[in-house]
């Protein structure tokens, strides 16, 4: 059975999950694939992927910076440019990338309001930008 939104894309779930039964890998399609793609894009440092050296938003250098309005504006610009260059399935205007800083949590939430180009459907996505204290904790 195929999904009626398969034209939006289909890809492996991240992290890749392989199933013994049926010898298959879990797949994502439609809006879930787009959101997963945004997660990967914003978590990737430029130069991290050998075959795509410009892929990624390159946010890691700003992880421990003081969150001034200038730093937040720069992060918004980096996120916008990464999406424009690497995610052709969605349309984002620069003013639709907004960041809010929570100083008590030490977290910068980057909200992206976007439109899926082929369906003209609007969605929003929030990327929490901060360091997790332990690496083995579930989010």
Distance CA 31, CA 18 (A): 21
Give the pLDDT score at 1: 44
For tokens 């809006």, name the residue.
Answer: 31
Give the pLDDT score at 7: 56
Give the pLDDT score at 137: 47
Give the pLDDT score at 112: 94
Residues of the chain falling short of pLDDT 70: 1-9, 131-139
Three-class DSSP category at 96: helix
Give the pLDDT score at 66: 87
**CB within 8 A of 23, min separation 6: which ones?**
none
Residues 46-67 have pLDDT tens digits of 888 899 999 999 898 888 888 8
pTM (2 d.p.): 0.79
In contact, 28 and 13? CB cutoff 8 Å: yes
């Amino acid at each position: 059975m195929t999904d009626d939104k398969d034209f939006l894309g289909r890809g492996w779930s991240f992290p890749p999950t392989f199933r013994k039964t049926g010898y298959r890998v879990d797949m994502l399609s439609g809006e879930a694939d787009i959101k997963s793609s945004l997660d990967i894009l914003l978590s990737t440092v430029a130069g991290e992927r050998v075959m795509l050296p410009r892929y990624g938003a390159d946010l890691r250098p700003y992880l421990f910076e003081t969150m001034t309005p200038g730093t937040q504006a720069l992060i918004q610009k980096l996120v916008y440019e990464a999406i424009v260059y690497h995610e052709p399935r969605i349309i984002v205007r620069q003013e639709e990338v907004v960041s809010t800083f929570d100083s008590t949590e030490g977290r910068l939430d980057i909200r992206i309001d976007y439109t899926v180009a082929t369906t003209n459907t609007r969605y929003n996505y929030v990327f929490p930008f901060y360091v997790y204290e332990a690496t083995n904790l579930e989010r």
